[in-house]
Amino acid sequence: MRLLLILAATLAAFLVACGGGDEIGPEERAETEALLKAAALRLEDLPSGFILDEERFTTNEETAAEQKDNPYAPTLEDLNRFGRILAYEATYSQEVSLSSLVTGGTLFIQTTAAVYRDSEGASEAFEFVRQQASDPGFADEFQKNFASSSSVEVRSATISPMSFAAVGDDRLAFKIDITAHSADVDLDLNFVGQIVGVRRGRAINSVTVLAVGSPSPVQELEDLARTLDERMQDALE
């Protein structure tokens, strides 16, 4: 379980850097938190069998501190320039057993929602993520970060763009393949992370699906992304 938590956190940290902007008052904070939770995927949107593991709101300062050693993460100056106000993330999981690691299946689903001062800042932040994830050294940095955070031997890590259905005003999708060996359970494990980001207006949301053995069906991922986009649209209106 610890290995999977580390992997899920690493995926989120690299491709879905979420945070909040300058200080906001209690009333605006409460309104923004309500908007973000309304814009994110909910438990009832997910396949059966998932439970909520963790949810939290984050600020730009918190995000920058957590990712200070990641050269591909946005700096505090970047986040403030984009005009991010606040963000929300929630992680859902299914029960993990040794047999499930062997047979394969979806293990984690993480949803994030971030709101910006305007659509221009959101668009700039979205393009930043696209460019960073497309850098040739990105996969090497991802592999190094994951290996340093866990007890497993990471044998390979590759990141490739995915073609995806037209949702939102803009979207990006990546697939991450990781081959690793866990001495704890003496298994070679093949993890597949699928990450879809959707921008609509001044909001950016994402869904990350982590599976072992084989990726989740594309249709299932597209359904989640469409639901995510609908949630964003309703929340912004």
CA pair distance 232, 204, nearest whole angstrom: 8
Strand ranges inside 82-184, DSSP E: 84-93, 105-116, 153-161, 170-182
Model pTM? 0.84
Strand order in the sheet with 84-93: 51-58, 84-93, 105-116, 203-212, 187-200, 170-182, 153-161
Q: Which residues contact 218 (CB under 8 A, 6 or more apart)?
A: none
Q: Which residues contact 16 (CB under 8 A, 6 or more apart)?
A: 89, 110, 112, 129, 195, 197, 206, 208
Q: Describe the crossing of helices 26-39 and 218-236 by its angle, rounded to 10 degrees.
A: 150
What pLDDT tens digit does each residue of the chain (237 aa) get? 445 555 555 555 555 454 455 567 888 899 999 999 999 999 999 988 899 999 999 888 887 787 777 787 788 898 889 998 998 999 998 876 555 566 667 888 999 999 999 999 999 999 988 888 778 777 777 777 666 655 667 788 888 888 888 999 999 998 888 888 777 767 787 888 888 999 999 999 999 898 888 777 888 899 999 999 999 999 998
Q: Which two tokens stand for residue 77?
A: 């100056």
Which domains does the chain show, CATH number per domain? 2-236 (3.40.1000)
